[in-house]
Amino acid sequence: MTLIKSISGIRGTIGGKVEDNLTPIDAVKFAAAYGTWLKNQRLKDNYRVVVGRDARISGEMIQNLVMNTLVGMGIHVIDLGLSTTPTVEVAVPMEHADGGIILTASHNPKQWNALKLLNAKGEFLNGIEGKKILDIAESSDMTFAEVDYLGKITKNEAYIDLHIDEVLDLPLVNRKAIEAVKFKVVVDGVNSTGGIAIPLLLERLGVEAVKLYCDPTGHFPHNPEPLKEHLGDLANAVVKHHADFGIVVDPDVDRLAFMDETGDMFGEEYTLVACADYVLSKTPGNTVSNMSSTRALRDVTLKHGGNYEASAVGEVNVVDLMKKNSAVIGGEGNGGIIYPESHYGRDALVGVALFLSLIAEKKIKVSELRASYPNYFMSKKKIQLTPGLDVDSVLKTMEANYSHENLTTIDGVKIDFTDSWVHLRKSNTEPIIRIYTEAPSQVEADTLADRIIAEIKAIANM
């Protein structure tokens, strides 16, 4: 059982001992620390925080603890109930709120939950801000409101619809072209809030949605990370229903992957590539993704005359570099689309609308679209951390061993070879070392990953 404190939020497994897991006491402590940090940003009479959650089983319990902790600090709460991460991000500035909290552990299994923390712009906190909140939590320097100054909770369950309105109003979303095609699409909502939001969006676009696991019970029917090995039911449903393609999202709807009309994966890495291709064809400019994302985005960006740069892993790092480079689109190779015309956050709803616009205008099958892009193959593997393992020392040794290659060390170690690369880093969200490799074939990518894993285990005596 685990409790992880990082720039990605406060994340842990439900139950167990305080400070070893995400217990009710931990949820209250970190919510109070966030409330304290928020009130320290500026002095005012009223503070407002937007709170929403995905459908996981522990969500209602954790949300009630968090909301009532904020109420106890004199902070007013706008309760979105079942929602999505990008919906909460959109709601914060629309509500003129001081911040937001999303209760979700994203792609992690059902025993996990987390507090994802937003600023007044509806964007994730940076590392400095996150550390201040951790310091406040450790110091217990938190003051609660007297009885006459308690906050209030106001429910507003309209924000998924308002979010969809915002997506449909984006100039590059070609509603007429989409409606004219009369697409049929299978949606795997992994029994979370994507099962609410994605079918509603498709309905508004005139797309027939075949629902698969769209009942938001929080009982995930398969591993919720949207990877090929977890999506056999979606592949079968796409073929069975003669659908144009399939859509799958993670539980909080900030990651997006597609399946083509034959039941083959379009490739989670290529979600961003396709959406960027469409956006760059209309509004040329620069792009950003993280260091663990495919080179195909670089290739597509250069084709459209733009510049590409890679950031450290983590949405806040991608957003920071996007702003510095005035990127017109960016995101992460895990299926996260960040489109500044909408907002600076990964958003599967925006990704679906842009992707539909692309294939509707091109009048092309999804398999044909995938074949039009540079063909890279990626391997994503993990090494479970053993107690006491000095990950930094392991990475330093790998850096020294490959010092003759092109190295980047802003986030772990990335080694760029002529026709392949490998990125090693400690995860922000799980007790693991992540190993990403990319090469011209799947065999080469897997072989490179296995070789690197063997080297790491030898260094660490695992």
Catalytic residue IDs? 106
Task: Give the list of residues 6+ apart from residue 328 with CB closer than 8 angstroms, or none.
Answer: 279, 280, 283, 284, 285, 286, 287, 306, 340, 341
Crossing angle of the two packed helices 348-362 and 85-94, in degrees rounded to 10? 100
SS3 label, residue 391: helix
C-beta of residue 187 within 8 angstroms of C-beta of residue 198: yes
What does the DSSP 8-state code read for residue 248? Answer: E
Lookup: tokens for 244: 């144009």
User: In sequence order, which residues have a C-beta less than 8 Å from that of residue 367 and are 6 or more positions away?
Assistant: 260, 261, 262, 264
CA distance 71 to 145: 8
130-134-135-137 Cα dihedral, nearest 10 degrees: 140
> At which residue do the structure tokens 């679209």 appear?
369
Q: CA-CA distance, 288 to 233, in Å (whole number)?
A: 33
Q: Which residues pair with 435 in a beta bridge?
A: 381, 424
Cβ atoms of 59 and 79 closer than 8 Å: no
Query: How far is CA 213 from each of CA 109, 170, 222, 334, 371, rounded to the nearest angstrom?
Result: 15, 28, 10, 21, 29
Residue 35's CB: how many other CB atoms inside 10 A? Answer: 30
Q: Which uninterrupted H or E stretch holds 445?
A: helix 442-460
Query: Do residues 111 and 14 lie in contact, with contact meaning Cβ atoms separated by under 8 Å?
Result: yes
Kindly list the distances between the CA atom of residue 61 and the CA atoms of 23, 55, 113, 177, in Å, as whole numbers in the listed order. 10, 11, 11, 43
Torsion sign (Cα): 393, 394, 399, 401: positive
Residue pair 425/313 in contact by the 8 Å Cβ criterion: yes
Distance between CA atoms of 206 and 382, rounded to whole angstroms?
A: 41
Nearest-angstrom CA–CA distance, 321 and 126: 12
| Widest CA span in the chain | 66
Determine the Cα–Cα distance for residues 134 and 268; give it in Å rounded to an integer.
33
